[in-house]
Each structure stands twice: as C-alpha cells, then as structure tokens.
Chains A and B, each alone.
Chain A
Amino acid sequence: MTAEPADPDDPEEALREVRSRFIASFPGQCDSIAALLGDDADAARLEGAHFIVHRLAGLAGLIGFPSVSERATDLESLLTTGGPPDLALARDLLGGIRENYAVDLIEPPDWVESAAVAEGLAILIVEDDRDQLALLEIQLQRAGHRTMSVSRGDEAIAAARERRPAIVLLDVELPGLDGHSVCRMMKTDPDLAGIPVVLLSTRASIDARLSGLMLGADDYLCKPFDARELLLRIENLRRRASAAAPATSAVTPGGLLAFDAFAAVATAALAAEPAALALVRAAADRTAQLGVTLADEGRRRDIFGRYDDTHLVWLMPGLDGRAATARARAALELARESGVGDATAGIAAGAAGSKIAALVAQADDALTEARCRRETASLQADRRAAEAPAVAGTLVLADDDPEVTRVVDGYMRAAGFDTVLAFDGATALQAVNERHPDVLVLDLMMPAMSGFDVLMRLQALPNKPRVVVLSAQGREDDVTRAFDLGADDYVVKPFSPQELRARILRLMK
C-alpha cells in the first residue's frame, strides 16, 4: 500500500495529471463540503468537512490553484478555531473557493501549457468552414478535449453513431443536410438523443435561436463567440449530464442516507425518469433495522433515506404507483414475518421532474389513509391527481425592473406556470427557500443582494433550482462568472418571453 510509483520521467507531466484529476473532482468536493456544512452540521460532519477542506487547501496550492488554496485555508482556519463555527460564513467562504477556482483555471501556472478545463471530452464538430473548424479544434484541444470532425450534415448522424462523442458542436448552415435537421434527427433517435448538441450559428435572431432550442438542441451559440464561453458551456453541459445520470453508485445497499443527501440523489434520479416514493412509518427503535431489511429486498436502483426518527423514505425509480405499492406491501410484510416489526407505507407516484418535497407530502397523506384503514401500504388517492391543476412548473422571477417582471410574469402565467415575484436578491433567495421552484429567473444587477450573491448562496442548497440569468447586452463577462457560480443558462436583455420559456422548458426536461 505504501509503495510509491517509480518517479515519472517528466515531473511536469505528473503535475498536469494530478491537476486534471483535481479539476475533475473539484465540483464534487465542493458539493460534499456544502452538504456537510448544512444547518444540521454536527461535530462529525464538521470534522468531515474539515478533512476535505484540509486536503483541498494543501493540494490546490501545489498544483497551481493558489487562490483556491488561500480561500480554502481561510475556511480551514474557521473550522479549527474551536467552538461551533459560523456556518453561514463557512458557506460564503465555500462560495469564494468556487469563485476563485474559475480565476485559477483561466490563469494556470506556466507548467500547464493550456487552460485545461477538465479531463478531456470527445467532441464531434460538424462544420464546413475550414477556418472555423481549425479554430475550434485549436481551442478545444488546448483545453484538453479530443476532437473529431465531419464537414457535411448528412455525415453527422453516422459519425455520432459510430464514434459516440460526449458532445456535438453543430453548425447550422451545412451542405448535405442543415444543422436543424441533423439536430432533430439526433434528438428523435433513442440511441443518440442523450448526446448534448450545441448549435453554432451566425444567425443571431431570436427566431433562429428559438427554433434551435425547440428542436431539442441543448445549447446555442452565435458566431463569433468567445473561446472561454464555449468552454464554460461545454463544462456546463457535462455537469448537467452527469447530474442526470442514474445515481445508483451513490447508494450503498443497506445504508440509509440523511434526508438532504437522499433528496439530492432522488432529485437527480427523478430528473431522468418517473419514480414512486414511499414514506414508511415504523417504531423509532426499528427504523434502522427496517432500512437494512428493505434495502436488502429492494432493487439495486432503489434509494433509501431517513426522514426522521420514525419515518423512512424510499424512492423506486422507474416504477409507477401501483407497482411500487405492491412492492412496498410485499417488503413490509416480509419484514414483519422476519420479526422486524410492524410498519406502514404511503406511496406517491411522481412524474419525471417531480419535486421530492411534494411527493413526500402526498405520500404522507397516503400514509395517514393507510393507517386509518389499517392497511400495510396505500397509494396516494387518485382523486388528488385528477384535481391537481396542470401546472407547467413553478418559477421565481427576480428582477428589480417592474416592467420586465410584469411582462414575463403575464406571459409565464398564461403559459401555465406558477410564478413568484421578487424585486431584490434577498427576497429571491427567500422565495427559493420557501417555494422550491423548478427554475429561478435571475437578474444579475439587483439591489440588496446581487444575482451573483444569490447564485453563491444557492450553491449551499441541496436542491437548488435551475437558474436562467438575465444579462445586460455587452456584459458577457458577467455571464461567464454566472456560469461559474452554477447558473444553467442565460438570456440577454432585451429578450423575448418566448425564448425565455423555451429555455426554461429545456432546463426542466
């Protein structure tokens, strides 16, 4: 275990390797720290956070992330001053760590030849203009990505099928078959639909962008674009893709997740497919044992968490309400026979994109009903689903310009969204905490607390909403910064509510 590998021939190569490993693990490390610094942080969680921060501070400086190291050292000092630390301040410092990461990433030390964004992705470029292609190849390869290219639209599908790129950059105007048609064909092909597509076009009109997004493109860039923006958008798509991946590995069979961790994993699972949620009630001294029994009986994909002393939560991805109820009933009866004790379950069926909090509330109703009827498991009453209005989703609209807010609000409500308005950052943050919206539409320039501050604070939330930022024309740096702080998309003012809606729907997909 202690044998060191032989010294690499080229120490700089080794440094680069460690650096790219660090880059790949950085977002995950920050998420872990954020989870451990939640409001329920106890001594053990703080110790865990301290341990990650300690290593982060040590390594970051060594491999060319001096400002990350500095900020992480501040956080480490805060965590070791003795006595309970100020958690809000700790989370602010974590926000600073994430912010400094972008700074260090864009200005790497000399021994890093390129501004490597992350472990390279295989990127397919579909572009007929040879100069444009050469430029893209240079920019992407410098950032550590691997590129492949075709110059005709009708070659793109076959290339994507054969070479399985992680991302496709697709020019709109192409010989053979235009980019919009290629995009539509990819997004309707079950084999290719999962590959993110970024459309590249010289057409800056809102209509062109809109139709691209409607066709299922994952993002849209207008030429000429800044290399940094392209790289950040690619990084963003990668992050989004990995968040939507089935979260099986985060679950240890037999282990129960704390509720916030459960909610994070379950939300990711629900983003990908429908799932049923069971709320299981048992005697306080039996919940742990029951959790182990259920996890043993459950499928590998199932996710188990502890809601409180007497309730467990159990997410069954891919199952409808009826199947989930049958499964819960069988498992609980088996548990009873094997002496674990009596338990009752309420089940709620969720569509892809459902909110965990809403499902838990519905499952709680079903649980009450099951206990009244003395049944082992009961499904959420069907009438509730019938009565529920068809809400497209919940939005928080945060902009200090009442004119913008009024227009957007009217349009979004007409489009079936529930809306909550906020005219400053602090109110926006409060609305997010209280209403758990699907998407936050966030102006960057607001009084009381700017959009950047809101983004920074959102990072500490386990279930942060998707965020579309509103940016003023000519403030592309702001967009770059917002992306780094976790924004998912942006529109430039003046924008059409129609485009905003298309972007919101795409994020909720």
Chain B
Amino acid sequence: MCAAMSLHVMLAEDDPDIRLVSRLALKRAGYRVTATANGRELLEKVTQDRPDVILLDYMMPELDGAETCAQLKADPATKDIPVVFLTAKSQGFQLEHGSRLGAVGYITKPYDALTLGAQLKEILERQP
C-alpha cells in the first residue's frame, strides 16, 4: 500500500492486550498505527510524529482520556487533529463531556477486531 494512502492513527490505551489487539486490527484495516500506553506518552509522541487521527481510551491511569483531549485541544500545534474516544455505550455524561472537549466521535463497546477499522473510517468520513 502506498504510504500516502494510509492514515496514521495514534492510540492511547493502558491495557497491553487491548493495545496489541487494537493495533493489529487497525493495521489490518490499512492504517499506520502508533500505540502508546497512556495520555502522557501520547502527548509526548504526538508532536514528534503527527498523526492524522487520535484514538483515546476514556479511562486510563496517569492522564485519562478527557484530560488528554483537553490538553491536545489547548495546544495550537495539535488542536486540529481529530480525536475519537473508545468508551462504554450510554455513558451519556462522558459523551457530552467529550464533545465539549472537541472530540469528533466515539467508538462504543462492544467493539470487535474486525470492525474497529471500519468504525473509525466511518467517523472520519463524516467529518467535513
């Protein structure tokens, strides 16, 4: 696949197994993936290797998804990168909080390895 075609996803997920499986699933769907273990690590890497989209687990130690998103949106260098949350369904207050923070979408559980890439694609295509 041509490098210019493949979108670069940066993922922050604290659980090593979920991180591994999500990374493999996104890779298989044609994305280039950088996986990080928490919000802090993502913020460090995001300026070095600017991704096209950021996937954030909502509940993480160190720096949770909301906090990480807020910091991304506060920095002019990163504020335009779309952010998508991985979260439980019907957590209304989280979703609302997330969109106030500037997230463009949510992938809700149960997500499976075969559709994760497609769900992300759908969200990105909805963007103007």
Q: Which residue numbers of A lie inside 8 Å of B, CB to CB?
A: 1-2, 4-5, 7-8, 11, 14-15, 18, 21-22, 50-51, 54-55, 57-64, 66, 69-70, 72-73, 76-77, 80, 82, 109
Q: Is the CB of A77 within 8 A of B22?
A: no
Tell me which residues across on chain B come within 8 A of A54, comparing CB atoms.
59, 88
Tell me whether B37 is interfacial, beta carbon within 8 Å: yes
Tell me which residues across on chain B come within 8 A of A69, comparing CB atoms.
109-112
Tell me whether B89 is interfacial, beta carbon within 8 Å: yes
Q: List 21 A-B contacts (CB under 8 A).
A: A2-B37, A2-B41, A4-B23, A14-B20, A14-B21, A21-B17, A50-B59, A57-B88, A58-B111, A60-B110, A61-B110, A61-B111, A62-B18, A62-B21, A62-B22, A63-B21, A72-B109, A73-B88, A76-B91, A77-B88, A80-B88
Give the CA-CA distance A269 to B15 in the complex, in Å.
Answer: 32
Give the CA-CA distance A4 to B22 in the complex, in Å.
Answer: 13
Tell me whether B116 is interfacial, beta carbon within 8 Å: yes
Tell me whether B56 is interfacial, beta carbon within 8 Å: no
Q: Is the CB of B24 within 8 A of A58?
A: no
Tell me which residues across on chain A come within 8 A of B112, comparing CB atoms.
61-62, 64, 66, 69, 109
Tell me which residues across on chain A come within 8 A of B27, comparing CB atoms.
7, 11
Give the CA-CA distance A55 to B15 in the complex, in Å.
Answer: 7
Q: What secondary structure prevails in chain B residues at the interface with A? A: mixed
Contact flags B85-98 to A (C-beta < 8 A → 1, else 0)? 01011110110000
Give the CA-CA distance A82 to B93 in the complex, in Å.
Answer: 9
For A8, the closest partner residue in chain B by CB is: B24
Q: Distance in Å from the Cβ of B35 to the closest Cβ of chain A?
A: 6
Q: Is the CB of A58 within 8 A of B86?
A: yes
Give the CA-CA distance A508 to B45 in the complex, in Å.
Answer: 57
Q: Is the CB of A58 within 8 A of B18?
A: yes
Tell me which residues across on chain A come within 8 A of B91, comparing CB atoms.
76-77, 80
Tell me which residues across on chain A come within 8 A of B23, comparing CB atoms.
4
Q: Is the CB of A57 within 8 A of B110?
A: yes
Give the CA-CA distance A21 to B36 in the complex, in Å.
Answer: 21
Tell me whether B113 is interfacial, beta carbon within 8 Å: yes
Q: Is the CB of B15 within 8 A of A77?
A: no
Q: Distance in Å from the Cβ of B112 to the closest Cβ of chain A?
A: 5
What 3 pairs between A and B have smallest CB-CB spacing? A61-B110, A69-B110, A76-B88
Give the CA-CA distance A80 to B113 in the complex, in Å.
Answer: 25
Q: Is the CB of A73 within 8 A of B110?
A: yes
- Give the interface size class of chain B: 20 to 34
Give the CA-CA distance A109 to B112 in the complex, in Å.
Answer: 10
Tell me which residues across on chain B come within 8 A of A4, comparing CB atoms.
19-20, 23, 35
- Contacting residue for B109 out of A14, A15, A57, A82, CB 8 A: A57
Q: Which of B22-37 contact A (CB under 8 A)?
A: 22-25, 27-28, 35-37
Q: Is the CB of A15 within 8 A of B113?
A: yes
For B58, the closest partner residue in chain A by CB is: A54
- Contacting residue for B113 out of A62, A72, A77, CB 8 A: A62
Tell me which residues across on chain B come within 8 A of A22, comparing CB atoms.
17
Q: Is the CB of B110 within 8 A of A66?
A: yes
Q: Distance in Å from the Cβ of B8 to the closest Cβ of chain A?
A: 15
Give the CA-CA distance A301 to B37 in the complex, in Å.
Answer: 36
Contact flags B68-103 to A (C-beta < 8 A → 1, else 0)? 000000000000000000101111011000000000
Q: Is the CB of A77 within 8 A of B90?
A: yes
Tell me which residues across on chain A come within 8 A of B36, comparing CB atoms.
2
Q: Is the CB of B88 within 8 A of A18?
A: no
Tell me which residues across on chain B come within 8 A of A58, comparing CB atoms.
13, 15, 18, 57, 86, 109, 111
For A51, the closest partner residue in chain B by CB is: B59
Give the CA-CA distance A64 to B110 in the complex, in Å.
Answer: 10
Give the CA-CA distance A412 to B22 in the complex, in Å.
Answer: 55
Q: Distance in Å from the Cβ of A70 to the closest Cβ of chain B?
A: 5
Q: Which of B3-23 contact A (CB under 8 A)?
A: 13, 15, 17-23
Tell me which residues across on chain B come within 8 A of A50, comparing CB atoms.
59
For B24, the closest partner residue in chain A by CB is: A11
Tell me which residues across on chain A come within 8 A of B93, comparing CB atoms.
82
Give the CA-CA distance A55 to B36 in the complex, in Å.
Answer: 16
Give the CA-CA distance A61 to B114 in the complex, in Å.
Answer: 10
Give the CA-CA distance A311 to B22 in the complex, in Å.
Answer: 48
For B115, the closest partner residue in chain A by CB is: A61
For B23, the closest partner residue in chain A by CB is: A4
Give the CA-CA distance A57 to B88 in the complex, in Å.
Answer: 8
Tell me which residues across on chain A come within 8 A of B111, comparing CB atoms.
58, 61-62, 69
Tell me which residues across on chain B come within 8 A of A51, comparing CB atoms.
59
Give the CA-CA distance A21 to B86 in the complex, in Å.
Answer: 22
Tell me which residues across on chain B come within 8 A of A60, comparing CB atoms.
110
Tell me which residues across on chain B come within 8 A of A63, comparing CB atoms.
17, 21, 113
Given contacts A54-B59, A62-B22, whether A77 and B116 have CB atoms under 8 Å apart is no
Give the CA-CA distance A109 to B113 in the complex, in Å.
Answer: 11
Give the CA-CA distance A364 to B28 in the complex, in Å.
Answer: 63
Tell me which residues across on chain A come within 8 A of B20, comparing CB atoms.
4-5, 14, 18
Tell me which residues across on chain B come within 8 A of A8, comparing CB atoms.
24
Tell me which residues across on chain B come within 8 A of A73, comparing CB atoms.
88-89, 108-110
Q: Distance in Å from the Cβ of B25 to the closest Cβ of chain A?
A: 7
Give the CA-CA distance A63 to B22 in the complex, in Å.
Answer: 10
Tell me which residues across on chain A come within 8 A of B116, comparing CB atoms.
62
Give the CA-CA distance A66 to B111 in the complex, in Å.
Answer: 8
Give the CA-CA distance A124 to B23 in the complex, in Å.
Answer: 39
Given contacts A2-B36, A2-B37, A61-B112, whether A80 and B94 have CB atoms under 8 Å apart is yes
Tell me which residues across on chain B come within 8 A of A66, comparing CB atoms.
110, 112
Given contacts A59-B15, A62-B116, whether A7 and B109 have CB atoms under 8 Å apart is no
